[in-house]
Amino acid sequence: MPAKNYTVAVVGALGMVGTEMLATLERRDFPIGELRPLDIPEAEGRTIAFKGKEYTVLAAREENFKGVDIALFSAGGDASLELAPTAARQGAVVVDNSSAWRMDPEKPLVVPEVNAHDLKWHKGIIANPNCSTIQMVVALKPLHDAARIKRVVVSTYQATSGAGKKGNDALSDEARAYLETGQVQDSKGFQYQIAFNCIPHIDVFEEHGYTKEEYKMVNETKKIMNDDSIKVTATCVRVPVWYGHSESVNIETEKKLTAADARKLLAKAPNIVVIDEPARNEYPMPLFSNDRDETMVGRIREDLTIDNGLNLWVVSNNIRKGAALNAVQVAEALVSMDLVRVP
């Protein structure tokens, strides 16, 4: 990275993803000259630790974006709609983790391993994709480049942390109550009890019986891959796991790829780890994602029902690669490509 240091704001600094953004910036030694943690006005005055120093949290207001070079947002869609344009007008490049800007044709939707080139046309706001979409397209990209993917059928098994702290609290409280009493009186985090259960319902239902989360995977995949011809269908399920989304991904390609071909392509791809030794019971699991940045791929096998089909099992940490890490990687790409607009 260039020698310059940057003024970086983290909006939603006290939240689950904001906290991980700060940890990721520190772990990857991002070139920060000034750190500005921002959150809701009620949190102003609280402190956070970063690289051995204490920083005071400021309110996410217009005046506190003055002089910011890069602003990482994880404060929800409403805050992003209100404040991201404000930050951009003052010269910051915003990387937004909400869904507010993802399908805006004027805003790049970026996973650096897949489409970092789209950063070149940013106008101050860059969208971070949905967590489930991110890990899937990381795995799809090398296969698409080699054989062109025609169709994707994906089923997700999404951790409770995808719903934030309240999701993990719900799983913990419900599991404890169920083990102590044999029942759960009230589920406060999801539509139904999540402990010892799976809920095939993430976000709201929309047309044709699909949920908004499922449509996110369909539409975001096409935009990131820059290929509207890819057919994508998804079923998204919440499962009783704290961290790490898992996905069963079936793809159909134009050219034939054997399982061995796919393993070689994936093993060479950036930030992918292939764990695929079924004879030794080795395959990706959410448990392996707790302290891992890479996307893990395993259970790679040919779909025997069609000529050019593959099945994959894809696992990644939804708070790291699915949110905070991807945002920081976008910021790193902006720096390395000299695309940070400094006033």
CATH code linked to domain 6-129+323-336: 3.40.50.720
Summarize the confidence of residues 257-263 as an average pLDDT. Answer: 98
Burial of 223 (0-12, 13-18, 19+ CB in 10 A): buried
With contact defined as beta carbons under 8 Å apart, do 189 and 163 qualify?
Answer: yes
Q: Where in the chain is the domain with CATH 3.40.50.720?
A: 6-129+323-336
pLDDT digits (tens, 9 = 90+) for 268-316: 999 999 999 999 999 999 999 999 999 999 999 999 999 999 999 999 9
Q: Give the pLDDT mean for 190-214.
A: 97
Q: Is 208 a catalytic residue?
A: no
Give this prediction's pTM.
0.96
234, pLDDT greater than 80: yes
Angle at 319 between CA 278 and CA 85, to 5 degrees: 140
Report residue 3's pLDDT band, with 50, 70 and 90 as the boundaries: low
Which one from 131, 144, 198, 201 is the annotated catalytic residue? Answer: 131
Catalytic (active site) residue 198: no
The reported pLDDT for the residue numbered 1 is: 42
- Beta-strand ranges (E) seen in 128-275 are 149-158, 231-238, 245-253, 272-274
Residue 37 vs residues 7, 56, 208: alpha-carbon distances, Å: 11, 7, 42
User: For 329-342, what is the mean pLDDT?
Assistant: 92
What residue type is 250 in one-letter code?
A: N
Give the architecture (CATH level 2) of 133-317. Answer: 2-Layer Sandwich (3.30)
Q: How far is CA 63 from CA 42, 188, 261, 338, in A?
A: 17, 37, 54, 26
Q: How confident is the model at residue 185 (pLDDT cuts 50, 70, 90)?
A: confident
User: What one-letter code names the amino acid at 56?
Assistant: T
Q: Under a CB-based contact definition with an 8 Å cutoff, are residues 120 and 339 in contact?
A: yes
Residues with Cβ within 8 Å of 178's Cβ and at least 6 positions away in sequence, in order, are 184, 193, 195, 196
- Beta strands in the chain, from DSSP E residues, in sequence order: 6-11, 32-39, 47-50, 53-56, 58-59, 70-73, 93-96, 125-127, 149-158, 231-238, 245-253, 272-274, 295-302, 309-316
Range(s) within the chain of domains with CATH label 3.30.360.10: 133-317
Catalytic, out of 122, 144, 236, 245: 245
Q: What is the pLDDT of residues 148-168, one digit of tens each?
A: 999 999 999 999 999 999 999
For 40-57, the pLDDT digits (tens) are 999 999 999 999 999 999
